[in-house]
Amino acid sequence: MESVLSKYENQITIFADYLEEFPDTDDLVWILGKQHLLKTEKSKLLSDISARLWFTYRRKFSPIGGTGPSSDAGWGCMLRCGQMMLAQALICRHLGRDWNWEKQKEQPKEYQRILQCFLDRKDCCYSIHQMETAQMGVGEGKSIGEWFGPNTVAQVLKKLALFDEWNSLAVYVSMDNTVVIEDIKKMCRVLPLSTDTDGESPPDSLNASNHSKATSACCPAWKSLLLIVPLRLGINQINPVYVDAFKECFKMPQSLGALGGKPNNAYYFIGFLGDELIFLDPHTTQTFVDTEEDGTVDDQTFHCLQSPQRMNILNLDPSVALGFFCKEEKDFDNWCSLVQKEILKENLRMFELVQKHPSHWPPFVPPAKPEVTTTGAEFIDSTEQLEEFDLEEDFEILSV
């Protein structure tokens, strides 16, 4: 395995349709729900992009599974993109979308804790080790070192989040190009100050007796939502009819960007300029970074300080996964309104948003943490804990 991976150690993928320098234009640039005027706010734009956590190939970490690869070069790009999308959700949850990063400046403790969730160690909750173990459990026989698509990575994040008590995210991965409002609210609404029902969904409405027992905060609390919408926007290439709707998603304040790219080459798309998508590229191999003696992480290699790459949207592979973060219920309600206004107005819809759970679907059961004896980051020691999860990497092809 190591001999096969060694040739990828210094891989940096370059395509002729990638453009690095921003043009001199009056056009707006959209980055994860925020707009920048390129001509007058270029430094602010580059600062916003460099603040995103950047996860790339790493080498010299402890072998996955004890005897597996010690580098993910050549096969881990989609996992790294999934890490970037999730990290952006955690940044929004703990620090807010407007938080910014500055080189060699002391950062909030929450930032350091978020970063430690992704270190390449078995005991870190979203490490390459944990994601690979989860993939083996849900990936229908695929082995360590195989490449996975955006839908698979979305399912892996959904499973791993069940063990992450600090961030306490509800992860919803849509099925059949359909987002069901009823199911999401069932999953995200939790009764406050209740250890017995924490993580469970309350009924749609509380009766008078339950209402009086639910503390002064009479309404259910909201569990922060990571919403992932896997799609296939064409057969062999993206259908131009979806371009405008796809770009609209980057304008939404809830946007976490998109996972996608080229076959076997994944990228984390964070915005657009005109018809060019802006993305962070994980195809650079860096050395494993661990915590220092004081418990902090040197974060200099976790931010991309170079000008971001771009590619024409029509060169995008049609298999993608959109991401959104809704910290509060009002954020989700606002997202639903934006989808109805900007996405569902099209004759050929990119995806559907429905109020009620479709009657022909199996009943919706909010995902729950499996019964295990460990907690926190020390959670998956074998694939047996994940055998109950099913996974389909295939996408429903939208009408063209």
Catalytic residue chosen out of the listed positions 48, 72, 183, 281: 281
Phi and psi dihedrals of 275, rounded to 5? -105, 20
- The pairing of strands 34-37 and 276-280 is unpaired
Nearest to 198 by CA among 184, 209, 188: 188
The answer to whether 248 and 335 have CB atoms below 8 angstroms apart is no
CA distance 55 to 270: 14
Positive or negative, the Cα torsion across 18, 23, 25, 30?
positive
| Residues 6+ positions from 43 with CB-CB distance below 8 Å | none
The answer to whether 92 and 164 have CB atoms below 8 angstroms apart is no
Compute how many other C-beta atoms are within 10 angstroms of the C-beta atom of residue 341.
10
3-state secondary structure of 340: helix
Catalytic residue chosen out of the listed positions 36, 94, 129, 283: 283
* 326 is annotated as an active-site residue: no
Catalytic residue chosen out of the listed positions 36, 77, 125, 183: 77
* 283 is annotated as an active-site residue: yes
User: How many angstroms from the chain centroid is the CA of residue 146?
Assistant: 20
Positive or negative, the Cα torsion across 86, 92, 94, 98?
positive
CA distance 92 to 328: 11
* DSSP category for residue 65: G
CA distance 317 to 231: 11
* 281 is annotated as an active-site residue: yes
Q: Which residues are catalytic?
A: 77, 281, 283
